Structures are given as structure tokens and as C-alpha cells.
Amino acid sequence: MTTREYFKGKTVVITGASSGIGKALAYEFAACGANIVMGARHEDKLVEIAEDLKKRGASVAYCVTDVTVEDDCRKLIVTAVGNFGGIDILICNAGISMRAIFDDVELSVLHRLMNVNFWGTVYCTKYALPYIQASHGSIVGVSSVAGLHGLPGRTGYSASKYAMTGFLDTIRIENRKKNVHVMVACPGFTATNVRFSALTADGSEQGATPRKEEKMMTPEKVAHIIAKGIMHHKRLLLMEFEGRATHFIKKFSPRFLDMMFYKVMAREPNSPFK
């Protein structure tokens, strides 16, 4: 079965859909004939993407959504059901990152990371779950390698992604007799604006990325891999060597992995630690 055959006519809700991986997911599923429901904070970008997708023949709806606001998440789900009658796939993609050591970071930064990355997933899942159960559909959390092993300089990011993983793993177990598929997707470093908007110690955006764009995955490639993972009902989706190696090495030599992560992150330009 092709992805187009599998997703045609299904309703897909995507958070963080105005840019990066979320935007790429909207185009990926639209190309497969799915109904697209987008949530993000920036209405102008949502309108632009929706109009372009409609020109391509896609069925699209959107709802301005700040995933840290519970009622916004409820309205996103209501929008999906109101326009398409139900939900087949929920992709919790909205997220922010950070770059600062815990010694220096203001605790408000960690609160923001948890509110977006963890609570945004919880809110959307809470309101979408009855419809996902009815359709025997899928819930996807876009996590990170930082959700598999602690990433130095990213305490709040790792914590929020670990929390997302624990939450979704438990949702999977609770719904094992209801035919609900739950997948945690872990892209490696991806060329998106999330890196530019990563929060520094005082909560301001770093505005530049310390990593080379040409060595990163593209959002389009990530979106295509996620679609394949949903179709094949993957539980944990590791997309490149770094993620697979992290998952493997942690089982047998976590101390070695600690050392390697420290060395890699310390080599970044203007690294917060050496």
C-alpha cells in the first residue's frame, strides 16, 4: 500500500503547522489526499499555507492555536470535527528548544519549555482522544534525540521531551484494547527555525544556530519519514544514525554516551560549557 492509498480521506491535525516540520507535514499529507487541520499561533502564515494547499486541491481548515492554552487546543479539535466529522491522526509537533546550562538558566525558561512541549501535547491529546479511539487512529509526538538521553545545555528541552515520551507511552498502554496507535518520532537536528528561536538563559531567543545547516535533515524528509512511520504503526521512530546509535549505546554503555554528548555539545561555537 502506498502512503496516498493509506492517508487518502483521513483527517490529520497538526500543531506547530505554520513553519518547519509542521508545515512540511501539512504538505506531505495534503499530497496524499488527507484532510488537513492546522494549528499555530501565526494566523497570517496559516492563511498563506491554507490558500496554497487549496490551490493544489487539498481540503484544509485551520485554527489559531497557542498550545499552552488549553481552550485553544480544544478549539483546534472542535475545528477538525466541525469541518471533517472526526479525527484520524493527531500530530503534536509544536515545540521550542533552549540553549543554556542549568546553573545559569532562569526557571521561567523551563516552565515555557514544559508548557509548550509537554502540556501542549497533553491538552491536544485529551480533546482528540475520543475521536482517535472512534477511528482507531494515530497519535504522534514529535520528540527528539534529547528525549532519549539527556542533552547538555538543554535541560528543559530534554525534560519536556522525556515527559512527552512517558505520557504517550502510557496512553499507548491504556488504549491497547482500543486499537489506538501511538508513535514517538525522534528527528535528529533538522534545518528549521526552532534552532533560531531556541531560548537562552534569560528567555530571549538565541537568534542564530551554532550548527551547520547543510549537515541537517530537511523538514520535508522528516515529514515523509513520519508519514511512513504512521502507515507502518511504528512505536519509536528513529530517523538517522545519531538517533539509532543513541538508543543502542544507552542500553549498554550510558557513561560512554554521557561523555560523547558532552564532547559534541562542548564543541559548538560559543558553547555554554567546556
The CA distance from 103 to 273, in Å, is 10
The verdict on whether 157 is a catalytic residue reads yes
In order of 82, 162, 181, the CA distances from 125 in angstroms are 17, 16, 13
Whether 158 is covered by a domain: the verdict is yes
The CA distance from 95 to 84, in Å, is 26
Whether 231 is covered by a domain: the verdict is yes
The CA distance from 185 to 29, in Å, is 16
Q: What pLDDT, on a 0 to 100 scale, did the predictor assign at position 213?
A: 55
Catalytic one of 62, 123, 127, 157: 157
pLDDT in tens, 248-257: 777 778 787 7
Whether 271 is covered by a domain: the verdict is no
CATH of the domain at 50: 3.40.50.720
pLDDT in tens, 161-202: 999 999 999 999 999 999 999 999 998 776 555 555 688 877
Residue 214 clears pLDDT 70, i.e. is over it:
no
pLDDT in tens, 9-42: 999 999 999 999 999 999 999 999 999 999 999 9
Alpha-carbon dihedral sign for residues 127, 130, 131, 135: positive
Percent of the chain scoring above 90 in pLDDT: 69
| Mean pLDDT taken over the chain | 90
Where residue 263 falls among pLDDT bands split at 50, 70, 90?
confident
Domain, as residue range, for 63: 3-266
Whether 62 is covered by a domain: the verdict is yes
Whether 28 is covered by a domain: the verdict is yes
Whether 203 is covered by a domain: the verdict is yes
Whether 130 is covered by a domain: the verdict is yes
User: In the chain, how many domains are there?
Assistant: 1
First to last CA, the chain: 50
Whether 54 is covered by a domain: the verdict is yes
Where residue 205 falls among pLDDT bands split at 50, 70, 90?
confident
Q: What pLDDT, on a 0 to 100 scale, did the predictor assign at position 207?
A: 57
- Predicted TM-score (pTM) of the model is 0.90
Higher pLDDT, 154 or 39: 39
Please choose, from the candidates 185, 272, 175, the residue with its C-alpha nearest in 3D space to the C-alpha of residue 226: 185
